[in-house]
Structure 1
Amino acid sequence: MGKVKEVMPVKLFCGFIYKEEEVVKEAIKKLKEKWGEIDLEAGPFPFDFTDYYEEEMGKDLKKRFVSFEKLLSPDESYEWKLFTNSVEEIFSEGGKRKVNIDPGYIDMAKVVLFSTKNFYHRIYLGKGIFAEVTLYYTKGKYEFLPWTYPDYKTKEYTEFFVKLREVYSLQIEKLRRDKNAR
């Protein structure tokens, strides 16, 4: 019988698809109220990989990432997506979002995204939220899976996740040192 091991905390990040800078800045303020300070940002990048959001949000969309300094337990991570959905509603007009917020997390092995949509590669977490491994880290770099979104395969995004993994690694090392010092 395998022994249950302690699960290390993970690093929360959010990706934003949007048109207006002011809207994304206000949305980030709401997230900071919940999760604290931001320690890494990337973007804006042009978001022209799909026209999926065009009818709702318009053309010339951008993507930005932020990560939060505080590490979190992944135990109830589905709640992160529920919260970002509530923030999206705040910035909606006539049933159309002005910002799409996709939370996810990173650990040493992978990048995980959350979704309200089920698919064969997604695992149900609870309250209508699913998770998928989007990128995995091996041999010093991120690799893709058959379902990895095209934008997550870009150099700009993978560079962000490499930097984020470096920040996370330092945080985990410090956590372990502090725990051993007790």
Structure 2
Amino acid sequence: MSHPQPSLPAKPIASIFGRREESIEEALRALKKVLGPVILKSSWLPFDLTNYYQPEFGSGLKRLFVAFAGFLAQEDLPRLKHRTYEQEMLLSVAGRRQVNIDPGYLLPERLVLATFKNYSHRIYLSQGVYADLTLIFERGSYRPLPWTYPDYVRDGIPFFNKVRQLYVEELKKEGLWPLKA
């Protein structure tokens, strides 16, 4: 029989993409004010596996994956999604976003993104926000699911495997790892 237990504190992460590196860096500075220092940042990655955002942003998009120090309560994901949406609107020019910020969190067993878009595999949280189960950890690495975005497979999995190592070390320091059943 299972019993109620508190949720494990999550590792806050974000994906930020846009055309101009300066706009992405500005969004990152704003995120640091909310989530704290960065513990790991990817290199500049091409955002070139979809043209879905081309009408809004144009071509030649770049992306950063970022992980932050400290923890995020899993139930705070809707609030974080709204904060990042506000930042996207603040950085908009003439009604057009300059950056797209996708916040989420990482746990030892999964990576979850926040989205305003409903779909069959997304679970409603609150405040118009859905949880998108993006990657699961098994056999020593994060693995994609049928709906995982291709760039999270190509570029994300290596990055998030590194973040997981840092996160587990933080959990050990806090006495939260290994998990107790």
The aligned residue for residue 67 of structure 1 is: 67
Describe the SS at the equivalent of 1:77. Answer: helix
Counterpart-to-counterpart distance in 1, 2:118 and 2:175: 36
The aligned residue for residue 29 of structure 2 is: 29
Q: Using the TM superposition, give the Cα deviation of residue 138 of structure 1 relative to its aligned residue in structure 2, in angstroms.
A: 0.4
The aligned residue for residue 39 of structure 1 is: 39
Amino acid at match of 1:158: I
Describe the SS at the equivalent of 1:65. Answer: strand
Counterpart-to-counterpart distance in 2, 1:135 and 1:99: 23
The aligned residue for residue 120 of structure 2 is: 120
The aligned residue for residue 89 of structure 2 is: 89
Describe the SS at the equivalent of 1:70. Answer: coil
Counterpart-to-counterpart distance in 2, 1:25 and 1:132: 25
Q: Structure 2 unaligned runs (5+)? A: none
What do residues 77-123 of structure 1 show as CA deviations (whole Å, max 9, x unaligned)?
11111100000001111221000000011000001011100001000
Amino acid at match of 1:15: S
Q: Does 2:130 correspond to 1:150? A: no
The aligned residue for residue 131 of structure 1 is: 131
Q: Does 2:48 correspond to 1:48? A: yes
CA contact (8 A) 2:115 2:130 kept: yes
The aligned residue for residue 164 of structure 1 is: 163
What do residues 145-173 of structure 1 show as CA deviations (whole Å, max 9, x unaligned)?
1111111111x321101000001000111
Rate the CA distance shift 1:55–1:8 in 2: closer, same or farther, 3 A.
Answer: same
Counterpart-to-counterpart distance in 1, 2:56 and 2:5: 44
Percent identical residues: 38
Describe the SS at the equivalent of 1:43. Answer: coil
Deviating beyond 2 angstroms after TM superposition, the runs of 4 or more aligned structure 1 residues are: none
Amino acid at match of 2:16: F
The aligned residue for residue 141 of structure 1 is: 141
Amino acid at match of 1:23: S
Rate the CA distance shift 1:30–1:2 in 2: closer, same or farther, 3 A.
Answer: same
The aligned residue for residue 78 of structure 1 is: 78
Structure with the larger strand share? 1
Q: Using the TM superposition, give the Cα deviation of residue 177 of structure 1 relative to its aligned residue in structure 2, in angstroms.
A: 6.8
Counterpart-to-counterpart distance in 2, 1:72 and 1:148: 23
Counterpart-to-counterpart distance in 2, 1:126 and 1:6: 19
TM-score with structure 1 setting the length: 0.93
Amino acid at match of 1:161: F
